[in-house]
Amino acid sequence: MISKTAIKHLKEKLGEKNVLHEKEDLLVLGYDSTPGVHHLPEVVVYPTSTEQVLAAMEIAAREGLPLVPRGSGTGLSGGSVPVRGGMVLTLTRMNRILEIDEENLTATMEPGVITLDLFNAVAAKGLFYPPDPGSQKISTIGGNVAENAGGLRGLKYGVTRDYVMGLKGILPDRSLITTGGKSVKDVAGYGFKDLLVGSEGTLGIITEVTVKLVPPPRDKRTFLAYFNDVRTAGEAVSRIIAARIIPSTMEIMDRVTINCVEDYVNIGLPRQMAALLLIEVDGHPAPVAEEAAEVRRVLEQVKAAEIHVAETAEQAASLAAARRTALSALARVSPTTLLEDATVPRSRLAETFGEIERLAAKFKLKVGTFGHAGDGNLHPTVLCDERNHDEMERAHAFYNELYEKVLDWGGTVSGEHGIGLAKKEYLARQIGAGGVKVMKRIKQSFDPEGILNPGKIFEDQDSGAEQHLEEGFRVSH
């Protein structure tokens, strides 16, 4: 239990309204978007400056409270769920863009800036920040960095890591660090900036982010292609890549997903089609025209059922927006949506679809699949009811077998959502005991006391922190 004095000190340092400990506030900050996990913190703080983050950390350390950084809680692997209770440190009130440097093409900001707000702010200056997770309307930059989030433009432009140039943060030993900066080249010492990216809030709290900006593409062409079966869509993806074309976007939705999205957006997606691909090529006008012609040729070759080209920029934008809602729209169908993040080498895409179909039938599950097809990053999503334990068991078995295959094919258990709580067991399978050992040593050197986000990525038995589970909420996962 957190002491009254600790609460008092927190309020002194952070201000009355930035420290919450009523049951109702704790209840609503014990989850992220990962289904089936909910654990109560003991206190929630909303620092508004680096100094306040530091003060909160000091108090947490003194009280022996686990400390869990949180952005907007859109994470899909349980990263910001306080499994051992303690303090949830929410960074959404540190949301200022500090600088957009047009000479160096960088932007520097606090971690709570909403991804879309950054995108819009730089776009207003004629610049482009490419990473765009489906959750961009509400996810924070800090959360994106901590998860190394990908997005709809990942195929050509890469993921968050490719844009992070510098970070400031506080390590669990309360030291302030700066790593990287505005220099395009920097090889001074170990590159632990790259360690912090994707560290899922276990190595340090990021308090400032500098990202690289690029000039926006001059032109783009958006295709929407429909298919009578999912495997053909997968084949189209492989063939486009094989034709040496790198579209900026190549997103897929299967029939179940198309229907859920259409229920929400009502833009006339054909409900009977087995799959759709959203393909965008961008860049300078001349190559764009050439690539667009090539994409069309491949689509015709594989016999796509229908091929459409977006006529206006708004139309293209609304298609991308519709795709972004896929996961949330799937949640219409059933009380619980269990989503995974299976990623395979692109040449295996068609087979992966086959495998998903086979396993869904085998375990009698309703599965909707969508994802970043161009990256080989699929999100098979089991639509189920967490009150039905038998169904949850089958879902578990489904993912088990699927990941078995994915790993056999040289894929990964997480393309972008991270390991968090949800995939600890699979991580060990992917990287082996040796890999886990090295990772634990890294964690140990950053966080010898084990106070920062314990219980994530891998089991940390040595932390000694008490298990703080809220009974009844956990489902097998």
Partner 1 sequence: MSHTDSLGNFRPKDAPEYEDVLQCMRCGFCLPTCPTYALTGRERSSPRGRVALARAVAEKKLEFTGAVKEEAFFCLDCRACTTACPSGVKAGEVMEVCRSQAHAFYPLGAMGKTFREFILQRMLVSPDLLEHSMLPTRLYQRLGLQWLVRHLGILKLGPDWMAKAEGMLPSLEKPLRPQLPEVVPAQGEKRGRVGFFLGCVMTLLYPQVSRQTVRVLSHQGYEVVTPKATKCCGAPHLSEGDRQTARELALFNLDLFLSQEVDWIVTDCAGCGAALKEYEEILAEDADHHRLALFRAKVRDISEFLAAEGLRTEGMKEVRRSVTYHEPCHLCHAQGISNQPRQLLKAIPGLELREMAESSWCCGSAATWGLKYSEESRQVLDRKLQNVTATKADILVTANPGCQLQLAWGVRQADMPQEVRHLMEILGEAIPD
What is the binding site for ligand SF4 (CB under 6 A)? 328, 331
Query: Rounded to whole angstroms, how far apart are CA atoms 172 and 460?
Result: 16
Is 360 or 421 the residue whose CB approaches ligand FAD more closely? 421
Give the x/- contact pattern for partner 1 in 24-53, rule: CB under 8 A: xx-xxx-xxx-x----------x-------
Is 30 or 151 the residue whose CB approaches ligand FAD more closely? 151
Query: Rounded to whole angstroms, how far apart are CA atoms 447 and 355?
Result: 40
- The residues pairing with 179 across neighbouring beta strands, listed in sequence order, are 167
- CB 243, CB 205: distance < 8 Å: no
Residue 244 interacts with which of partner 1, ligand SF4, ligand FAD, none, CB < 5 to 8 Å by class: none
Q: Is the dihedral of CA 159, 163, 165, 167 positive or negative?
A: negative
Given the structure tokens 């560290």, which residue do they identify?
199
Nearest CA to 162 out of 199, 193, 120, 202 is that of: 193
Residue 29 interacts with which of partner 1, ligand SF4, ligand FAD, none, CB < 5 to 8 Å by class: partner 1
Can you give the C-alpha Rg of the chain in angstroms? 22
How buried is residue 80: exposed, middle or buried, by Cβ count under 10 Å (0-12/13-18/19+)? Answer: buried
Write down the least CB distance from residue 325 to ligand SF4, Å.
Answer: 9
Query: Rounded to whole angstroms, how far apart are CA atoms 171 and 374?
Result: 36
Residue 455 interacts with which of ligand FAD, ligand SF4, partner 1, none, CB < 5 to 8 Å by class: none
Write down the least CB distance from residue 335 to ligand FAD, Å.
Answer: 16
Is 61 or 331 the residue whose CB approaches ligand SF4 more closely? 331
How many C-beta atoms surround the C-beta of residue 325 within 10 A? 16
Residues that bind ligand FAD (CB under 6 A): 32-33, 68-76, 79-80, 91, 111, 133-135, 139-140, 142-144, 146-147, 149-151, 200-201, 205-206, 327-328, 416-417, 453
Write down the least CB distance from residue 300 to partner 1, Å.
Answer: 33
Is 74 or 343 the residue whose CB approaches ligand FAD more closely? 74
Query: Rounded to whole angstroms, how far apart are CA atoms 278 and 319?
Result: 8
Q: Is 104 in the site for partner 1 (CB under 8 A)?
A: no
Write down the least CB distance from residue 162 to ligand FAD, Å.
Answer: 13
Contact window for partner 1 (CB under 8 A) among 5-13, 100-108, 325-333, 346-354 = 325-333
Residue type, 477: H
Is 63 or 416 the residue whose CB approaches ligand FAD more closely? 416
Tell me which of 1, 4, 16, 23 binds partner 1, using CB under 8 A.
23
Burial of 32-54, coded b for 16+ CB within 10 Å and e otherwise, reads bbbbbbbbbbbbbbbbbebebbb
Q: Is 389 in the site for partner 1 (CB under 8 A)?
A: yes
Residue 389 interacts with which of ligand SF4, ligand FAD, partner 1, none, CB < 5 to 8 Å by class: partner 1
Is 92 or 248 the residue whose CB approaches partner 1 more closely? 92
Task: Please name the helix (run of DSSP H) or strand (run of DSSP E) that holds residue 252, with its range, or none.
Answer: strand 249-254
Residue 147 interacts with which of partner 1, ligand FAD, ligand SF4, none, CB < 5 to 8 Å by class: ligand FAD
Mention every residue, 6+ apart, whose C-beta is less than 8 A from residue 109: 96, 97, 98, 99, 118, 141, 208, 209, 211
Query: Rounded to whole angstroms, how far apart are CA atoms 3 and 23?
Result: 15
Is 246 or 331 the residue whose CB approaches ligand SF4 more closely? 331
Burial of 369-405, coded b for 16+ CB within 10 Å and e otherwise, reads bbbbbbbbbbbbbbbbebeeeebbebbbebbeebbeb
Nearest CA to 455 out of 74, 86, 35, 60 is that of: 86
Q: Is 121 in the site for partner 1 (CB under 8 A)?
A: no
How many C-beta atoms surround the C-beta of residue 467 within 10 A? 9
Residue 247 interacts with which of ligand FAD, ligand SF4, partner 1, none, CB < 5 to 8 Å by class: none
Residue 82 interacts with which of ligand SF4, ligand FAD, partner 1, none, CB < 5 to 8 Å by class: none
Is 48 or 228 the residue whose CB approaches ligand FAD more closely? 48
Is 300 or 385 the residue whose CB approaches partner 1 more closely? 385
Residue 133 interacts with which of partner 1, ligand FAD, ligand SF4, none, CB < 5 to 8 Å by class: ligand FAD
- CB 230, CB 288: distance < 8 Å: no
Nearest CA to 452 out of 227, 200, 261 is that of: 200
Q: Is 264 in the site for partner 1 (CB under 8 A)?
A: yes
Tell me which of 210, 248, 337, 414 binds partner 1, using CB under 8 A.
337
Query: Rounded to whole angstroms, how far apart are CA atoms 57 and 171?
Result: 9
Instruction: List interacting residues with partner 1 (CB under 8 A).
Output: 20, 22-25, 27-29, 31-33, 35, 46, 72-74, 92-93, 114, 135, 137-139, 260-261, 263-264, 325, 327-329, 331-332, 335-337, 385, 387-390, 470, 472
